[in-house]
């Protein structure tokens, strides 16, 4: 069964209360289904931003893409998540990842563990959050039962296994990251392998997870080959054709991009697309073209 599309925007830029509300209302008016915030120093603080977004809008779901588990512990995060779910009227989608920028941990005075340690911490966080947020005696309690939907993001083998077991939404960036936060795109063939591995771990699930992809480039109206040539110069490990195949790069006419998105859903399973705030308006015509499909 083909899952219908959902569309989200990841809000990156701090601003005044009026500016924030205006952006959120614009996202709602353009038809976005979800308003998301990341968890990076220098960007909006996640939970107050989501509460403010809820006050400015009526329809969109509200979520984190993604919280850095290394900046949180389960008890405090359970309190924040439950309170936010209550204050947003049960619209929260809780996204978590291991964290990947060492410099942010250094600035926060928090340890930055090895990849194994970071996944261990996230696994402990997921287990404890599930226990706390589904406990009828936990105060505050979330508005959604048994808890807000959980999104887990990552590409590594252990992360794929963790998402396959626990996530309501499995999120993919299509890229590998260094400790400095620099991203390098995975080839489409490597993404095929990662998706096949994820599906093997998720085999037998009663309810399959929704699959999310974070789109990095939206070039509406641009020449596809020229866009690929430019990006291939920034991603030397990929050919121009591989850039054109990549689900995080969308270029061409509105119809071209809509066709690309449908093809990526068929090939990879991505039905939940997130674009970055600078592409909020550029992607809107594509969203309209794909609405209901």
Q: What is the CA radius of gyration of the chain?
A: 18
**Residue 1 belongs to a domain:** no
Structure-token match 């966080």, residue found: 125
Q: What is the pLDDT of residues 5-49, one digit of tens each?
A: 999 999 999 999 999 999 999 999 999 999 999 999 999 999 999
**Residue 115 belongs to a domain:** yes
Q: Kindly report the CATH number assigned to the domain that includes residue 32.
A: 3.20.20.30
pTM score, whole prediction: 0.96
**Residue 87 has which token pair?**
């204050």
Of 223, 280, 286, 218, the residue nearest 246 (C-alpha): 218
- As a whole number of angstroms, the distance between CA 39 and CA 24 comes to 18
**Residue 243 has which token pair?**
């850039």
**Residue 221 belongs to a domain:** yes
How many structural domains does the chain have? 1
- Which helix H or strand E contains 71, and what residues bound it? none
Q: What is the pLDDT of residues 45-78, one digit of tens each?
A: 999 999 999 999 999 999 999 999 999 999 999 9
Residues in the chain with pLDDT values less than 50: none
**Residue 206 belongs to a domain:** yes
**Residue 84 has which token pair?**
């936010």
**Residue 100 belongs to a domain:** yes
**Residue 153 belongs to a domain:** yes
Domain extent for 76:
6-290
- As a whole number of angstroms, the distance between CA 71 and CA 67 comes to 8
**Residue 285 belongs to a domain:** yes
Contact 197, 161 (CB under 8 A): no
Phi, psi of 190 (to 5 degrees): -65, -40
DSSP 103-163: HHHHHHT-----HHHHHHHHHHHHHHHHHHHT-TT-SSPPSSSS---EEEE--SHHHHHHH
């Amino acid at each position: 069964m083909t899952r219908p599309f959902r569309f989200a925007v990841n809000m990156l830029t701090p601003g005044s209360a009026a500016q924030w509300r205006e952006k959120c209302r614009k996202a709602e008016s353009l038809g976005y289904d979800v308003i998301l915030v990341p968890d990076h120093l220098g960007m909006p603080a996640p939970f107050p931003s989501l509460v403010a977004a809820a006050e400015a809008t009526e329809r969109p779901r509200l979520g984190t893409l993604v919280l850095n588990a290394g900046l949180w512990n389960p008890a405090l995060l359970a309190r924040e998540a439950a309170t936010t779910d209550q204050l947003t009227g049960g619209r929260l989608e809780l996204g978590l990842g291991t964290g990947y920028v060492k410099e942010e941990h250094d600035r926060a005075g928090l340890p930055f563990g090895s990849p194994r340690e970071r996944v261990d911490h996230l696994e402990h966080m997921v287990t404890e959050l599930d226990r706390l947020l589904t406990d009828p005696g936990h105060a505050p309690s979330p508005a959604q039962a048994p808890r807000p939907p959980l999104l887990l993001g990552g590409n590594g083998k252990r992360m794929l296994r963790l998402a396959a077991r626990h996530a309501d939404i499995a999120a993919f960036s299509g890229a590998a990251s260094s400790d400095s936060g620099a991203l390098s795109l995975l080839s489409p063939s490597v993404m095929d392998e990662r998706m096949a591995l994820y599906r093997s771990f998720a085999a037998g699930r009663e309810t399959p997870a929704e699959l999310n992809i974070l789109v990095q480039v939206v070039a509406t109206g641009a020449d596809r080959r020229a866009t690929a040539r430019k990006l291939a110069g920034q991603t030397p490990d990929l050919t121009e054709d591989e850039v054109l195949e990549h689900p995080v790069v969308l270029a061409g006419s509105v119809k071209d991009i809509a066709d690309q998105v449908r093809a990526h859903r068929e090939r990879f399973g991505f039905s939940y697309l997130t674009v970055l705030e600078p592409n909020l308006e550029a992607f809107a015509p594509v969203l309209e073209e794909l609405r209901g499909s």
